[in-house]
Structure 1
């Protein structure tokens, strides 16, 4: 849970002003200089029904539930307070569809097991400031490195490839990449590294492939799905799109980054399919959320999520009943845990597909989405980062991630109060 950084002495003085009246005696009159009692408008109740603590959990509030407050005070003048500590929480407003109208208010909380907590949504008071956090999420299009799209939070970073990278490959020019797979950037620091690594790579090509203390990019994608890319498995073949052709950044901020990628139609065993992919990543999470929407004039075949097995030196573990699939592999003297978490109702089967040709060996997860929309989570944990120590911890992380998805925090917005 991200807290405001108000100095203790200021917090102490503010607390005193909130609780005690300063009385001024003037002649026969007594004038109260006390601050009026704090008023607030809405209470957000968050309940954890599980027996373990939920840390840095993102709470989403639809804008319709807070619209009167938003219209009255404006987004920049609304804050969320933890009344138990009187701390203000870092929050973020999101416009999901790019229509210049806010759709969500999000913030993060820590809730003990089998417990509930109230938070206050109110207007910013005099002498207060919106709280800030050193930690953040981030994503952007990267034209200086051909045309990657890259995203990160305090735990992990990813990237994928655009049309210029595809053109260079197809026209035989250097510096291209032909892939719609998802690359993993292994970071070992909490602060943002995307801009820094790309700048270093401009000055010294290949710099981000060398670990200089913040992490590096040793992960090979090639024509594989990388970690969480999509294709279609039919007739013992995987049909995949080429690079994305359009991007739209929807949000970037202290809690969540959201963007969309569009892919040109491609042939799947005689059928033409299009994909639009919405990707989001929350602060504190090792897994990105992927939501792919497919369109076709024909019946869409079963989408397949992939994890590359590289040189087949790692270990696959799959649990169809829980919707958890992972690969644990050695990498430059350390280990990398890859994982996909999905609603098990969507899983049609999986295949530990191992072949001899380059980039062909993959853990493939066949799915049957409803309404041609497929939602899943994919990401990684690197033992050198200190986030996980071993394979058992990575398995436990994926298990708990799935349990949280299956048992979300209960959120209720109460009516006005003064």
Structure 2
């Protein structure tokens, strides 16, 4: 514990330093503070009252506590910063209730299971929204019932607003007030997934074929908060090329990001030759661009009178190959990225940019985002504790 002097009063707190060692600016980047290294006695204080204060301006920043192992104790503290090239910044973790509070910004991340809509699982932040499909949708599809979907691909909901829309759009759609397939001013869902990988669905590429799972069979919401949402999806055990394994996805999405993070755990799958991440090419009218050495891959396509950019980012060191796979049958044409499976695990990022959202104007701006995103992953912010 460090005792700090603030005018004439003693304040319990801890200073941390954040360094950007890159020659590029970083906007709204998430900082992870390991609470075990702060020396703060969380047992004698309400951890939820812990604040992050800019040491220079005194402003209180938006922050979020996380209990990763669900043992009832917080492990991480998250907050977001803007960093100039090669900048160092200092922050104070404190229970002191002073300074301008800018922590309530009206934006958030969110995810939930949607049993009222054939067991979807949906997630969003202030920029993008996604969903994938659950057991009831599979049952309906296999029994030729209405509203069935047999897919482990990922769908895109295109947003024009920075506030949460998942609950509102589902409610209006189910009440027949309006359809989320029609833009009523906030955005909509014109994206088709079908049996494709959509935006970041996965499979195993063997003998010129992509072996994919069916819909998820169980889910678990781990964290919802202003900066990050985290959840798990589990898929039915399956066998590929003589290897039987279980597949679990640990997915998270941070505020301000256009890409979600997916950590795929393949229990028993350490002998699998790859994990393949895909993007649907739909009717093949878009443009593929790749940079394997930098770890990013994208598709820029026309979408219902607008333009949509899809992207995958992965550590360049684990990229085996990629394939611009084009066929004549529906949902089969895809941009596929084959990655290593290390100790039964693989990590990638996937997401999209819509030119009607106001954040990207063309394919070049999307390319620059993916390139810089990959660079930031390879050279994260450095956090030190005083």
Q: Shorter-normalised TM-score: what interval?
A: over 0.9
Contact 1:324 1:399 in 2 (8 A): yes
Distance (whole Å) between structure 1 residues aligned to residue 102 and residue 51 of structure 2: 7
Distance (whole Å) between structure 2 residues aligned to residue 243 and residue 213 of structure 1: 31
Partner residue, 1:138: 110
SS of equivalent residue, structure 1 residue 385: coil
**1:74 matched to 2:46:** yes
Contact 1:158 1:182 in 2 (8 A): yes
Counterpart of 2:307 (choices 326, 335, 348) is 335
Per-residue CA deviation, residues 152-185 of structure 1 (Å, 9 max, x unaligned), is 0000000001111111111222111110011111
Partner residue, 1:12: none
Distance (whole Å) between structure 2 residues aligned to residue 90 and residue 410 of structure 1: 19
SS of equivalent residue, structure 2 residue 174: helix
Partner residue, 2:80: 108
Distance (whole Å) between structure 2 residues aligned to residue 367 and residue 229 of structure 1: 13
The 1:86/1:297 distance shift into structure 2, 3 A limit, reads: closer
Instruction: Give the C-alpha shift of residue 380 in structure 1.
Output: 0.3
Q: How does 1:81-230 map to 2 (within 5 A)?
A: 81-125=53-97, 131-204=103-176, 207-230=179-202
Q: List alignment gaps of at least 5 residues for structure 1.
A: 1-17, 20-35
Partner residue, 2:3: none
Counterpart of 2:272 (choices 295, 300, 311) is 300
Instruction: Give the C-alpha shift of residue 235 in structure 1.
Output: 1.0
Distance (whole Å) between structure 1 residues aligned to residue 87 and residue 121 of structure 2: 40
Q: TM (normalized to structure 2)?
A: 0.95
**1:287 matched to 2:264:** no
Between stretches 296-305 and 82-91, larger displacement belongs to 296-305
Distance (whole Å) between structure 2 residues aligned to residue 141 and residue 288 of structure 1: 17
**1:392 matched to 2:364:** yes
The 1:138/1:294 distance shift into structure 2, 3 A limit, reads: same
Q: TM (normalized to structure 1)?
A: 0.88
Instruction: Report the aligned-residue RMSD.
Output: 1.8
Aligned length: 381
Instruction: Give the C-alpha shift of residue 52 in structure 1.
Output: 2.3
Runs of 4+ with deviation above 6 angstroms: 126-130
Partner residue, 1:37: 9
Distance (whole Å) between structure 2 residues aligned to residue 206 and residue 353 of structure 1: 36
Contact 2:219 2:233 in 1 (8 A): yes
Contact 1:272 1:298 in 2 (8 A): no
